[in-house]
Chains A and B, each alone.
Chain A
């Protein structure tokens, strides 16, 4: 027993005596060469969603070796997405920690909004990166995140558009409008639904924008009057659709992964994805049948970007910036966009690239089953203020799940 007490006391002492690393480097005024010098031979902890084998393979077999070889940076990837990241950084801030366990985080609008609420991100920093000059910041789908200017606090990494995935063997003519969707669901009850998480809410946002008058109609700050007006119409439409949804609309798949599973097993004829290239990935992995196709209905779907942020209390900001710079290099973005690697859309303005790289982007192999990017972009909707999503999530429980 005495030994056990000594071990516990020793562990407590060790935990208290963590060595303080050098944090005095003035990164805000440092040149890029100084940042590289400071960042090399360090380690970076990146927290990201690790639920896709292709994304994991890209990170583990391309980005990690790349930064290790060029800068001797040890990139550690830990698993966690939006809410986990917010919880960790909130807990650190509440505990008055001075050093974060997280250096980099993979986020998008909803998490960006929450992290800005708790002031958990470092910035502005993206203009320091040499490769950022090729980023298409003027693109409203890249430079704005959920109607919030990114303002140098997050670095665009990839751009995707939501698609609705269907089994073409069962669905000959996919519904292109709200009315057509209602008619289809009534004729084929139990085959359509959406998930009770981010992807499902993104679908609801597209319907809300459609009801409000189309793309741009809900741009800007959250507008209570507009929300009340258009959301009541949305819930009215969805409650008429409800009896014809999967399980009579009394319950919804908890996340997009179970919905994919229901689609793969044939229980559903539709699923959804926030990555417009996912249909190619899933067919290649043998998860979806080869008759699977993806489309964007006439009312459009949300296009958004995903980003890299650096935590405010990271003690490896320089190393994190060096890694981030490599992640947006033309070569890394080109590889990431390859449908056989990941198929994630680039955030670079390819017109700004040197001709050789531009040609490589233009000659990249096309997707086989997913619709062409150039076609679906015409129906791309801008993300709306995060407050709309919070309200939709609350009202979804109130009006649909009861």
Chain B
């Protein structure tokens, strides 16, 4: 075995040990626990916990609600990030600009801090409510609409957008540079394209296609978030992580297998998404640069 082969093999072993092994081990443990074959309070094999979860509407509502939060927050973040990149790209490129510093600030805060910040801003007794009340627009702060712990997850969406937009802005700004979009835009316009055509036919398709996998992974990331929906969400519907942790850590130890069944189902769901992202035909084509294909054509 030469040194090159050894390096490739050791890379694979380290990758397996650090990623696949713990996640796979966790999945097997959770699955065995959920079917009652391990766990000190379990009494042997049963499918009752899976049946309970699958027939319980709260699981499906949670899954749907998590998906709704993820899609809406990621979509709005993409729009904001694209706007930032297209309007302030010069400021973003410059390392010392105030815009780039301001953009990086939300990246420094953990989710729990952003959640608390959102609560202080948007609750009935929060900053906005007090300002509006002080200006005489509202007679009292309690007339301020419910924007925390509300049905539509306003403050959850706000917090997620606050955290994700800077990531996307940096990603899109790097793609903009890397793919030489200005150059492509100029070529298109010199051939007669209008600004709008250049934007919708060149700029947006190139950036979004290149960022497709990252965007999909962020949807998964938001769907799995815990601290933000715990503090700012409602008890019904709950996001999937909150539901699972509640089953895992609340008063009834006999609910623990159900928590593991929820975790397994969610892992399967995420696994399917990742499979389609990385191994399906259409996604493998993504590895080829759309620009390269354009030039090849």
* Cβ-based interface call for A110 (8 A): yes
* Cβ-based interface call for A70 (8 A): no
Contact with B along A1-27 (1 / 0, CB 8 A): 110110010000000000000000000
A267:B149 contact, CB within 8 angstroms: no
Partner of B125, one of A93, A252, A262, A386: A262
Task: State in angstroms the CA–CA spacing of A267 and B142 once bound together.
Answer: 7
B38:A386 contact, CB within 8 angstroms: no
Task: State in angstroms the CA–CA spacing of A169 and B126 once bound together.
Answer: 21
Task: State in angstroms the CA–CA spacing of A304 and B236 once bound together.
Answer: 31
B14:A1 contact, CB within 8 angstroms: yes
Q: Number of A residues contacting the other chain (C-beta, 8 Å)?
A: 37
Contact with A along B1-41 (1 / 0, CB 8 A): 00000110011011001000000000000000000001111
Closest to B6 in A: A2
Closest to B7 in A: A1
**Which A residues are CB-close (under 8 A) to B230?**
254
Contact with A along B93-111 (1 / 0, CB 8 A): 0000000000000000000
B234:A118 contact, CB within 8 angstroms: no
Task: State in angstroms the CA–CA spacing of A266 and B40 once bound together.
Answer: 46
B260, chain A: closest CB distance, angstroms: 12
Most buried by B among A90, A93, A201, A254: A254
Task: State in angstroms the CA–CA spacing of A86 and B124 once bound together.
Answer: 36
* Cβ-based interface call for A225 (8 A): no
**Which A residues are CB-close (under 8 A) to B126?**
265
Task: State in angstroms the CA–CA spacing of A267 and B140 once bound together.
Answer: 11
B7:A393 contact, CB within 8 angstroms: no
**Which A residues are CB-close (under 8 A) to B141?**
266-267
* Cβ-based interface call for A362 (8 A): no
B236:A5 contact, CB within 8 angstroms: no
Closest to A5 in B: B10
Task: State in angstroms the CA–CA spacing of A80 and B295 once bound together.
Answer: 59
B249:A394 contact, CB within 8 angstroms: no
* Cβ-based interface call for A401 (8 A): yes
B251:A390 contact, CB within 8 angstroms: yes
**Which B residues are CB-close (under 8 A) to A5?**
10, 13-14
Q: From DSSP, what is the main secondary structure of chain A's interface residues?
A: helix
**A401 and B236 contact, Cβ closer than 8 Å, known pairs A1-B10, A1-B11, A266-B125:** yes
Partner of A252, one of B39, B151, B235, B249: B235
* Cβ-based interface call for A87 (8 A): yes
Chain B 138-180 residues near chain A, CB threshold 8 A: 141-142, 146, 149, 151
A118:B14 contact, CB within 8 angstroms: no
Task: State in angstroms the CA–CA spacing of A66 and B149 once bound together.
Answer: 45
Task: State in angstroms the CA–CA spacing of A196 and B249 once bound together.
Answer: 13
* Cβ-based interface call for A378 (8 A): no
Closest to A253 in B: B149
* Cβ-based interface call for A389 (8 A): yes
* Cβ-based interface call for B253 (8 A): yes
* Cβ-based interface call for B231 (8 A): yes
A114-B253, A389-B251 given; 20 more Cβ-contact pairs under 8 Å: A1-B10, A8-B14, A8-B17, A83-B250, A86-B253, A93-B40, A94-B38, A94-B39, A114-B251, A117-B253, A118-B253, A190-B142, A252-B235, A265-B123, A265-B125, A267-B124, A267-B141, A393-B250, A393-B251, A397-B235
A residues in contact (CB < 8 Å) with B:
1-2, 4-5, 8, 83-84, 86-87, 90, 93-94, 110, 114, 117-118, 190, 196, 201, 247, 250-252, 254, 258, 262, 265-267, 386, 389-390, 393-394, 397, 401-402
Question: 30 A-B residue contacts at CB 8 Å?
Answer: A1-B7, A1-B10, A1-B11, A5-B10, A8-B17, A83-B249, A86-B253, A87-B248, A93-B40, A94-B38, A94-B40, A110-B251, A114-B251, A117-B41, A117-B253, A118-B41, A201-B251, A250-B234, A251-B235, A258-B231, A262-B123, A265-B125, A265-B126, A266-B125, A267-B123, A267-B124, A386-B251, A393-B250, A393-B252, A402-B236
